Chain A
Amino acid sequence: MSSGALASLDRRLLSGLCWLLAAIWVFGLVLLPQLFMIETSLWWLERDPQATALSQRIDRLYQEVMLRELDLQAAPVERRPLLEDEIARLREEIALLEAREQQPVKVYGFANYARMSGLHLQVFLRTLAYSVLVTLLSLAVCYPVAWTAARARSRRGRALLLLALVIPYAINELLRVYAWLMIFDYEGLLNALLVRLGLVDRQSGGIPFLTYPFTTFVAMVYAYILFMVFPLYNAFESLDEHQVEAARDLGASTWLLHRRVVVPHARPGIAVGCVMTFMLSAGSYSVPQIMSRGLGGDWFSQLVYRQFFEANNWNIGAAYAFSLLLACLVFVGLVMRLFRVGIREIAR
């Protein structure tokens, strides 16, 4: 075999291996858990309607067994076999009933999805609305930052600006959020500052910032800022400087320049940034958990968590989680339609 053929075999092996790993990853870490979640969301355990009657009956039988056993100890020898027979019969019946009790019926259906209470539905919709707000807020903050960075004349300035954006990501997500907690807390920096300025009375205990959804928004924008900044930055960066100058030369205001030239060019980048930020916000658990600590309204992800680990009802939890995922996908699809962005462009 020639060395060329060997090398090509090598290459084929390598690429085969890569495909295999990718397949394992997609299947094992993405598809399988999702399928499991979907499956879990589609069944529930049906309890016997007379479950309570049954357990009462079992209890009664146990008592009877106990009585017979007491009888047995006191009984004369000739009566013993009779009693023993009876105890055996009772135990048999108990075993039979217990078997029925321990096997609740697994029923498949969509009922889990219909079980959301009005309150939870409200939280669900509110979470979607909040995520939209976080996304818009993030877009509003990141757009000028990314624009400035992408248009910075000197390479140094550009690198510094991007570095400043990346550095917070070297810090653990929890700490990043806690930083905001320290600012917004009752005894936090902001309240201290307001008290110092005499705008707030110390006796009042400060302004309860943490009960406002806005503080969660701020922390969330900060937590996910890079996912918005980088797609925008890339999109702006790829815009030919001459396009900007041509627009300016023709008399375009900043508004017109962005509306007619920059935004149309950056559309795919904007869509990517919005989709990522939206998905991350809608599914964020730690940020609302830390920021609101039950003081502000819940986010849906917190409800899902509680279904799983407090109510211990994986079926409903899975249905909740999957509903959220579906709603997000639908929403993302709509946004992409709105921006007339295809999947291909996103993948660029």
Chain B
Amino acid sequence: MRFDRLVAVEPTDLDIRAGEFFSLLGPSGCGKTTLLRLISGFLKPTTGRILIGGRDMAGIPPSRRPTALIFQNLALFPLMSVWENVAFGLEARGVAKAERRRRAEALLELVALAGSADKKPAELSGGQRQRVAIARALAVEPSVLLLDEPLSALDLKLRQHMRHELRAIQRRVGITFVYITHDQGEALTMSDRVAVMRRGRIEQVDTPERLYEEPATAFVATFVGGSNLVPARVRRKAGTECLAETPLGNFRARNPQDLAEGAEGLLFVRPERLRPAAGHDNRIRGRVVERAFEGPFLLFTIETSQGQRLQVQWLNEGDVHALAAEVEVGFSAGDARILPPGPLADER
């Protein structure tokens, strides 16, 4: 999909399964909204096709697609009451007023807003408005619900609450949710599968667990969860593992992309996989330069003698006060991966 010369979404093959909670995750401006608008029909793809339920959507306007879109700003109709908002799609389909009201109330019950039918959207809280938008979209019985960062306007507490709410609603109605977010926490907690996007390109599509454990690119590794990356070279291959040569020494790590011997790459380890050193072959020694106490965790940064900084996250087992000024951390080969070089999330 291009706007003039800008390619907003590169040619992509994306297969979303019926009934799943699918998230599109990526930084701002990476083309998430554009992709969603392509699916909903507000944009015509420059090339390629969009199929929903096996049916080609070319030439079918948004109003006749089996999708319903929830906008980033919700776009509730401010002058209509809550129930009229919910029933708008039914009104468009010529459903009689009494029946509309009945079905709107049933939907409002589904989203736990039974008592607010006659209020105006402005009289509701952010989370309630959110649910009205969902009910309004569900009223037209879409087979795909498209949600464009619907929680971004809410405060943290409410956002976390709404995550569960959304997931529960999705389970109840059983239709496909395509959910856009730039918040990796949201994507991981709610989704069946997540697609990570960068600059109009889909970097990886996977379950949250695999995305976290087995990021395919340096971008995914840094965008999802905390990360440590150290420039590395494949010194020797050994099955799915390899010996990686880094400025900090040689480490054993997995080589999922099967990089050739001598290839440049990035050694990747999650902060929580850098454990107290005992019992690991891969060890790094460093001075503690920063520490942040997070209740259940202790987050700290060590700096090696080569000047490389690494983030470490340890579980708080009641002994964090004993953290020495200099520590040795270790990691198992299974927790480290060597990835092909590529852009990182912070660069954008």
Contact = CB atoms under 8 A, between A and B. Distances in A.
Interface of A: 240, 242-243, 245-253, 256, 260-261, 264-265
B61 interface: yes
Contact of A246 (B61, B69, B91): B69
- Most chain-B CB neighbours within 10 Å: which of A243, A246, A247, A249? A249
Given A250-B89, A265-B79, 11 more contacts: A246-B75, A248-B62, A249-B42, A249-B62, A250-B63, A251-B89, A252-B88, A253-B92, A256-B91, A261-B77, A264-B80
B63 A260 contact: no
29 contacts: A240-B73, A245-B42, A245-B71, A246-B71, A246-B75, A246-B77, A247-B92, A248-B61, A249-B40, A249-B63, A249-B68, A250-B68, A250-B88, A250-B137, A250-B140, A251-B64, A251-B92, A251-B93, A251-B140, A252-B63, A252-B88, A253-B92, A256-B91, A256-B92, A260-B77, A260-B88, A260-B91, A261-B77, A264-B80
B136 interface: yes
B75 A251 contact: no
A247 B68 CA distance: 10
Contacts of A242: 71-73, 75
Nearest to A244: B75
A interface SS class: helix
Interface of B: 40, 42, 61-64, 67-69, 71-73, 75-77, 79-80, 88-89, 91-93, 136-137, 139-140
The 9 closest A-B pairs by CB, nearest first: A242-B75, A250-B89, A251-B92, A246-B75, A251-B63, A252-B92, A264-B79, A242-B71, A249-B62
Contacts of B91: 252, 256, 260
B121 to A, nearest CB: 12
Nearest to A250: B89
Nearest to A253: B92
B80 A260 contact: yes
Contacts of B67: 249
B16 to A, nearest CB: 18
A243 B341 CA distance: 44
Contacts of A249: 40, 42, 62-63, 67-69
A240 B72 CA distance: 12
Contacts of B64: 251
B219 to A, nearest CB: 30
A47 to B, nearest CB: 61
A264 B79 CA distance: 7
Nearest to A245: B42
A320 B136 CA distance: 56
Nearest to A240: B75
Nearest to A263: B79
Given A250-B92, A251-B93, A243 B77 contact: yes
Contact of A248 (B63, B77, B93, B137): B63
A242 B76 CA distance: 9
